[in-house]
Structure 1
Amino acid sequence: MPTPPQGHLVTTVHSTQTVTIEIDGEIVARSERPVVLYETGLPIRYYLPPDDVELTRFEPTDTHTTCPFKGEASYWTYQGNGGTGPRTDVAWAYTDPIDSVPDIAGHLCFYDTVARITVEGEPPAPPA
């Protein structure tokens, strides 16, 4: 994997915030133990343990991307709620992330352009 550019930081912090994920009116995840990821130039991301996600509503896809700061991501499609159809690649996870971000291994993160992400509580400060 290529060496990340200087000055780009990715850090994680365990949190006790309550994070709720809703897609098409259906709550598909709720966690009180997210891993908060801070990355230079990007918004805060919340990675949720798979036990806190309604995985029966999702199917893995063949989509994979590589991030030089986190590793290879795999994606999931939301299967729809009643009359709504599937939504492709709405969540991703790093099954085996690079050594600098081991806390996100297997945790799912959702696109805020598709999912309504509600966070209760203040995020923990990023590591100094």
Structure 2
Amino acid sequence: MSRPDPHPADQDTGATGVHMRNAMGQLLQKLRYEPTAKRIRATLGGRTVLDTTRAMLVWEPRRVVPTYAVPDDDILAGISPRASTTATEDSSAGIMLPDLSKTPVFDPRTPFDVRTTQGEPIELRVAGTDAVASGFRPHDPGLAGYVILAFADFDSWFEEDDEIISHPHDPYGRIDVRGTSRHVQLMLDGHMLADTTRARMLFETNLPARYYLPMEDVVAPLVPSSTTSMCSYKGHATWYSAVLGDRTVEDIVWQYKLPLSDAAEVKDYAAFLDERLDLIIDGEQQERPVTPWS
């Protein structure tokens, strides 16, 4: 199955319209920020170390998910300079998302200290404890007086009174779940893994559509894995390996047993990494998507 060119605006077609994904890909190369009306709090070392209604969502160049920047005045911990442990990134670093960008991008697994903008590394310390978190003062007038914070270094984060995980939500990203009666089959090397006409399709901004299947329609035996993962929008995932004869395909299936509200409709359904499998829809084999999990 052929796919449309992900960058049609790069072709001389005479079109005057803008392909949104192409426009978003171009913006990835810039430092972006957006104020949020949410009250943002974070804890470190068992204490609340920031409480603000003036937070900014910040995407450094080539980063695909945001983090928070907060005013110095709203940080309730000591701030001091910190030596940077990672040099400013080079143009070949990152992972490819060809549907979004022609250059590598940084997903949430990229270390916080990989920099794509100029600024000063700092650290937060909680008095009387060993708790420390990394931060960064960008040298950009639009973020003057703000500190970008390493989300993963903190114990917990809250938007208003609700705890969030993994990273802040992108106000320009979303999840939709739709039931579908399309005939969905998943195969590998001639072995059928799943076969259903009762899938739920999960659409997430800038990612391929995922097919979540009733467990009853999974044909291959599944073995629980020790692997876990989390998604800011969907929650904590449990992973499984699939048994195909005398072969075990590691960490190929995941499931949200207690999903967050955005993904409530896929509770207990199973999704397969079709980057590594053959996905067949209504008898037509699909091209394998290219993602960080390929």
Report the TM-score range of the alignment, normalised by the length of the smaller protein: 0.7 to 0.9
Task: Answer 1 or 2: higher relative contact order, Cα 8 Å, separation at least 6.
Answer: 1
Deviation of 1:113 after TM superposition, in Å, equals 2.6
TM-score normalised by the chain length of structure 2: 0.39
Partner of 2:213: 48
Aligned length: 118
Letter in 1 for 2:282: E
Give the C-alpha shift of residue 45 in structure 1: 0.7
Structure 2 residue aligned with 1:35, among 200, 206, 213? 200
Q: What's the counterpart of residue 233 of structure 2?
A: 69
Residue of structure 1 aligned with 2:258, choices 80, 90, 96: 96
Q: CA RMSD in A?
A: 1.5
Query: Is the contact made by 1:48 and 1:107 (CA closer than 8 Å) also made in structure 2?
Result: yes
Please report how far the alpha carbon of residue 94 of structure 1 lies from its aligned counterpart in structure 2 after TM superposition: 0.7
Following superposition, the deviation at residue 81 of structure 1 comes to: 2.2
Tell me how far 1:104 sits from its aligned partner. Answer: 0.5
Partner of 1:7: 172
Report Cα offsets for 1:29-78 as digits up to 9, x if no partner: 111010001000001110001011125x2101011100001111111111
Residue by residue over 1:6-29, the C-alpha shift from the partner in whole angstroms, topping out at 9 and shown as x without a partner, is 111011001111100112311121
Cα distance in 1, alignment partners of residues 207 and 170 from structure 2: 15
1:51 maps to amino acid? E
Candidates 229, 233, 242, aligned match of 1:78 = 242
Gaps of 5+ in 2: 1-163, 284-294
**Aligned partner of 1:26 among 174, 188, 191:** 191
What residue identity is the alignment partner of 1:89? D
Unpaired runs of at least 5, structure 1: 122-128
Q: Kindly indicate whether the alpha-carbon contact (under 8 Å) linking 1:34 and 1:47 is maintained by their aligned counterparts in 2.
A: yes
- Segments of 4+ moved more than 2 angstroms: none
Distance in 1 (alpha carbons) for counterparts of 2:271 and 2:216: 13
What SS class does the counterpart of residue 101 from structure 1 fall into? helix
SS in 1 for 2:265: helix
Match of 1:114 in 2: 276
Mapped partners of 1:28, 1:80: distance in 2: 8
Question: Equivalent residue of 2:227, what SS?
Answer: strand
1-structure distance, mates of 2:187, 2:245: 11
Q: Would you say the 8 A contact 1:24–1:81 is kept in 2?
A: no
